[in-house]
Amino acid sequence: MIYRCVMEQVLKIKGEESKWDIRHKVWDYIEDQNLANFPRPVHNRIPNFKGATLACNRLIDLGKFRSSRVVKVNPDRPQEQARFIALHAGKKLLVPTPRLKTGLFNKIVPPKGATNQELRVCSTSQGVKEFSVPIGLNDNVHVDLVVVGSVAVSEKGYRIGKGEGFADMEYAMMACMGAVCESSVVITIVHDCQVMEIPETLIEGHDLTVDFILTPSRIIKTECKRPKPQGIIWSKLDTEVLKKIPILKKLRSIQQEAEKDVTLKTPPAGEDENESSQESCQSNIQRELKRESHWQHGHLVSKGDQRGRFKSVFPKSPVSTIYLGDIPSRLRVSELKTLLREHEAVPLRIIWQGAQHRAFLHYADSTRAEHALRALQKLSVHGSTMRVECVRSGATDGTGQKEEPSED
């Protein structure tokens, strides 16, 4: 039964707002209205909203859930009841491997003859660790129903997550494995205030859309017409992502053997010719930073005047630099990194000076820096447009000293 009562949307989205503006509007509202349970604050999380158990219980009313055999549920706290319902109904329950570091997902294996209390334990984050076994990329598995969390979602099925892209990546990887198909159903479980109009222009080809929305008060069938990810868009990934998510590297090798196009986005200059040298250089930089400096209040603080030493660590000639100014005080480094990924402007490294509301992005060559400059123009975050300018050659040395952008 579909409960689609008409409700006035609490949060309104302006046409020029970005995904990050929408995320923070939702997070701020949930905190201000005290609509969340532990963990708090909800910022940078899938909110554990009050009424999550009631919303999860609506799964039982869905024929798509009752007919499913294999269900994948995200590991966040507000979906804990959904995991219990799946186990209680005798479904095979899969959960994503945390941050995809060691694999794609694990299967929950409750004790034989488990009581309801034991099934509830298996549904918790600790239970997921204790009662699960890994599922390999080569295992033949078909997922009938996928439950994901969201920060915001529209009745058209457009979804915005917390900004790390793991739900999108997980689904794309399952598509590569043949674990999902057109008949696979995607459900998100949210508070009513998280349902709002989201401009279609914000939704990209790799973004996961949803078929059903469950809230404490209703079930919404979205009738979404946009296709879900059909696989990994390798041309949007670089070698850095493969290092962070090792399972991606393995999946790429499998697809390469199957003669699929797995060409990555153009790596930083010189990486394709001498990747090991480039990695070694970056490792040396990180070691030097740890040795000579420490992080304090969100920006780099040198131990004494290390200007001369840092000049040898950060050579002037091979890098081009972008200056970001007028950075909102609420913006975190993790959010900035996500924004850069979304705009395909990932630098070799970031000099973050949050207290001064600025950052410096180092690129391998002028071509990549110019691309980033174009991509980041008029970048708006939290309702504020940041300054994006080129820095004069050699003006940045990573010491945390004042660095000025060019006036060109």
DSSP-assigned states of every residue in 194-230: GB----GGG--TTPPP-SEEE-SS-EEE----SPPP-
- Say how far apart CA 335 and CA 352 lie, in whole Å: 12
- What's the confidence (pLDDT) of residue 246? 79
* Structure tokens belonging to residue 144: 């009938």
The per-residue pLDDT for range 56-102, each reduced to its tens digit, is 999 999 999 999 999 999 989 999 999 999 999 999 999 988 766 66
Which domains are assigned to the chain? Answer: 19-221 (3.40.50.10420), 275-390 (3.30.70.330)
* Structure tokens belonging to residue 362: 């180092």
Instruction: Give SS3 for 139.
Output: coil
Neighbouring C-beta atoms of residue 227, cutoff 10 Å: 9
Q: Is the pLDDT of residue 290 over 70?
A: no
User: What confidence category does residue 278 fall into, taking pLDDT thresholds of 50, 70 and 90?
Assistant: very low
User: What confidence category does residue 5 fall into, taking pLDDT thresholds of 50, 70 and 90?
Assistant: low
The per-residue pLDDT for range 354-397, each reduced to its tens digit, is 778 888 888 878 888 888 888 888 777 777 788 898 886 544 44
Residue 135 CA to chain centroid, in angstroms? 22
**113-128 in b/e burial notation, b at 16+ Cβ within 10 A?**
ebeeeebbbbbbeebb
Percent of the chain with pLDDT over 70: 80
Q: Is the pLDDT of residue 149 over 60?
A: yes
Amino acid at 198: I
Q: Is 237 exposed, middle or buried, given 0-12, 13-18 or 19+ CB atoms closer than 10 A?
A: buried
In contact, 79 and 147? CB cutoff 8 Å: yes
Neighbouring C-beta atoms of residue 370, cutoff 10 Å: 14
- What's the confidence (pLDDT) of residue 134? 86
Q: Is the pLDDT of residue 221 over 90?
A: yes
Residue entry with tokens 């929305």: 213
Find the angle CA(265)-CA(266)-CA(269) to the nearest 5 degrees. 150
Of residues 127 and 312, more confidence is placed in 127
- Say how far apart CA 135 and CA 305 lie, in whole Å: 52
The H or E element containing residue 241 is helix 239-244
Q: Is 87 exposed, middle or buried, given 0-12, 13-18 or 19+ CB atoms closer than 10 A?
A: buried
* The most confident of 124-128, 147-151, 230-234, 272-276, by mean pLDDT: 147-151
The pTM score is 0.68
What separation in angstroms does the CA of 292 have from each of 45, 300, 307, 354?
33, 11, 11, 20
Q: Which is it for strands 212-214 and 185-189: parallel, antiparallel or unpaired?
A: parallel
The per-residue pLDDT for range 292-312, each reduced to its tens digit, is 333 333 333 333 443 343 343
The per-residue pLDDT for range 182-193, each reduced to its tens digit, is 899 999 999 999
Residue entry with tokens 């959904």: 82
Over the Cα atoms of the chain, what is R_g? Answer: 23
Of residues 316 and 194, more confidence is placed in 194
The per-residue pLDDT for range 247-269, each reduced to its tens digit, is 888 888 888 888 888 888 755 44
